[in-house]
Amino acid sequence: MDIDWDLVAGSFWPLVQGGIRGTIPLSLASFFLGLVLALIVALMRLSGNKVISAIARGYVSVIRGTPLLVQLFVIFYGLPSIGVVIDPWPSAIIAFSLNVGGYAAEVIRAAILSVPKGQWEAGHTIGMSPVTTLRRIILPQAARVSVPPLSNTFISLVKDTSLASLILVTELFRQAQEIAAFSQEFMVLYVEAAVIYWVFCLILSSGQSQLEKRLDRYVAH
């Protein structure tokens, strides 16, 4: 097979732009909204109130038990039939945030539970309220434990945002599809897209290592 290097070079920048204007902001926005949601859901699950904890458990169960693509389609193609029309971008952000919220909630819950009970007691004895203890003592320690699994969640999310191409969001993969349809060079474009995703994820992995190293300064080896 002859590779059309001119096409590779010519399509490189449009694909990267799709990443910069689509994939990256979509991933960042969804991840941070999803994390906020996940923290709330994790605390709901840990709550002593049975109803609150059951609601949170139900939410996590639905998110983890249904395909992301189906969640995306329900929001973008399903909701309009009951009168709720949401544009592609907000639809994608909502769907991905809800998804991250479900998965990261379990990570955060486990991380909070991994902090020894004695840390809560130490917070109590120096006069802290449970909320202050959570914020200043427990969560910083839980954060360290959560970095590897949450990094995995984020890396998965970056790749999963390619699904947004199916609800008309112009991100990296949709750019590739459009150029491929036009040039009929499917192999070249899709491999090129794959390489760019891979480079993004390599950068993220090295960011993860840096972050872990920084947070490791108080951990015994």
**140 belongs to the binding site for another protein (CB under 8 A):** yes
Q: In the complex, what is the shortest distance from the CB of residue 94 to another protein, in angstroms, rounded to a whole number?
A: 34
**141 belongs to the binding site for another protein (CB under 8 A):** yes
Q: In the complex, what is the shortest distance from the CB of residue 125 to another protein, in angstroms, rounded to a whole number?
A: 4
Give the x/- contact pattern for another protein in 4-33, rule: CB under 8 A: ------------------------------
The single residue among 114, 132, 206, 209 that binds another protein, judged by CB under 8 A, is 132
**116 belongs to the binding site for another protein (CB under 8 A):** yes
Q: Print the SS3 string covering the chain.
A: CCCCHHHHHHHHHHHHHHHHHHHHHHHHHHHHHHHHHHHHHHHHHHCCCHHHHHHHHHHHHHHHHCCHHHHHHHHHHHHHHHCCCCCHHHHHHHHHHHHHHHHHHHHHHHHHHHCCHHHHHHHHHCCCCHHHHHHHHHHHHHHHHHHHHHHHHHHHHHHHHHHHHHHCCCCHHHHHHHHHHHHCCHHHHHHHHHHHHHHHHHHHHHHHHHHHHHHHHHCCC
The single residue among 62, 85, 181, 219 that binds another protein, judged by CB under 8 A, is 219
Contact segment (CB under 8 A) with another protein among 35-43, 76-84, 115-123, 193-201 equals 115-123
Residues making contact with another protein (CB under 8 A): 116, 118-119, 121-122, 124-128, 132, 136-137, 140-141, 144, 217-220
